[in-house]
Amino acid sequence: MSNTDSKTLSLIICSRNDDYMGDPMWRLATSINYVSEQIFNLEREAEVEIVVCDWGSMVPISNVIQLTQKSASITSFIEVPLELASELQKDSPFGEVYALNVAARRSKGLYIGRIDQDTLVTVGFLENFFHAFEKRKDFGFDLETSYMFAARKQLPYAFVSKEPSLVSLDKCIENFRSWIFNEELKFCHWASPVGILMMHRDIWDDIGGYDERLIYYWFMDVDLATRLMKKYPIVNIGEKFGYHFYHLEHMPKGNLFRHSHRKLNPDWSKSFDKPVLNPNGKDWGLRGHDLTVSKHSLIPIEVDSNNAATNTNNVALFLHILKGSLRRWTWYQIKHFWYITKLIRKKPYL
């Protein structure tokens, strides 16, 4: 992977301009605008970039998304045309493995961190990442040779569905962070819902990113981890740096499983027996395709100018958070019990 115009950190995201589960363009813009504020507050804007793979949008994301001046200045969009996206994803609704690989392949960061399009990255992660990178604090692991993973927390649908302002989101996190359940699988943290997944760019290149055969649902992150764990240590940076990733819940039923209608990736994707480190070869991430890279094309918005600070009932919000956290805590105890029964029966636990 060439690295001619180096950054320290690339945050990569994949998305599409559609109506997936509500308003994905608001969620994407909110995630980008939120982390950009944190980046500029730390005066790290010259060292961090945001790279979005626009997967098969009929109208490019860069033409419609509402970004601030700060976020527009550090965000790039890589456009994969609809015809190519449809060909690669076949009967899958979204070729996420391809899209994330496209973003990783064309990013400039020494470290590349994958986040979802609806994940808020708080300042605590950025502070600790740069402390580790600049060796100002010892976190007990080698940043350069490690596969780093952190689970996420959830902001409740009842709050997110009102499309709160950045100020309101920040206040929610500040006031209730200790009450928001962390969705980490204690027996297998790297198989948890992703807050961030991060590696040095040389590791991304060595493993070829995500397995581009896994175009369906589930286990793409698990497959990646089970491929690289024989060569690279896996580090829970949620424990090391703190849990600084908040998912904007966009499904009203919360923790209930809602994807039974989807075609799943094959069972081998969660196997630990993977002799091939890079199944994609040297051209992973559509290396041979000349893709358009664009910048935000609209007039930048002022921070929160498109939605004034939400008048939030803190008592009601706290009750929503408490209810969601208790529900998720219960579900994760069931998962842990299920894991123990699998061990007793000597069955695969993934």
Domain locations along the chain = 7-344
Helix (H) or strand (E) run with residue 28 in it: helix 24-41
How large is the average pLDDT for residues 179-191?
A: 95
- Please report which confidence band the pLDDT of residue 73 belongs to, taking 50, 70 and 90 as the band edges: very high
pTM (predicted TM-score) = 0.94
Q: Which of 233, 203, 198 is nearest to 125 (CA)?
A: 198
Confidence of residue 1 (pLDDT cuts 50, 70, 90): low
In the prediction, which pLDDT does 311 show?
Answer: 60
pLDDT at 306: 47
Does residue 255 register a pLDDT over 50?
no
Residues making up the chain, counted from first to last: 350
| Band (349; pLDDT cuts 50, 70, 90) | confident
Strands 147-151 and 194-200: antiparallel
Please state which CATH number belongs to domain 7-344: 3.90.550.10
Q: pLDDT, tens digit, for every residue of 87-135?
A: 999 999 999 999 999 999 999 999 999 999 999 999 999 999 999 999 9
Buried b (16+ CB within 10 A) or exposed e, 63-73: eebbbbebbbe
Helix (H) or strand (E) holding 39: helix 24-41
pLDDT digits (tens, 9 = 90+) for 279-292: 999 999 999 999 99
pLDDT digits (tens, 9 = 90+) for 210-252: 999 999 998 999 999 999 999 999 999 999 999 999 999 988 7
pLDDT over 70, % of the chain: 94
Longest dimension (CA), the chain: 60
CB contact at 8 A, 42 and 77: no
Q: What is the mean pLDDT of residues 173-183?
A: 96
What's the Cα-to-Cα distance from 181 to each of 47, 85, 154, rounded to whole Å? 31, 36, 7
Mean pLDDT value across residues 49-61: 98
Task: Assign 3-state DSSP to the chain and report helix, strand, coil percentages, each to 5.
Answer: 40, 20, 45
- Cα–Cα distance, 194 to 182 (Å, whole number): 11
Region 314-320: mean pLDDT is 94
DSSP state, 317?
H
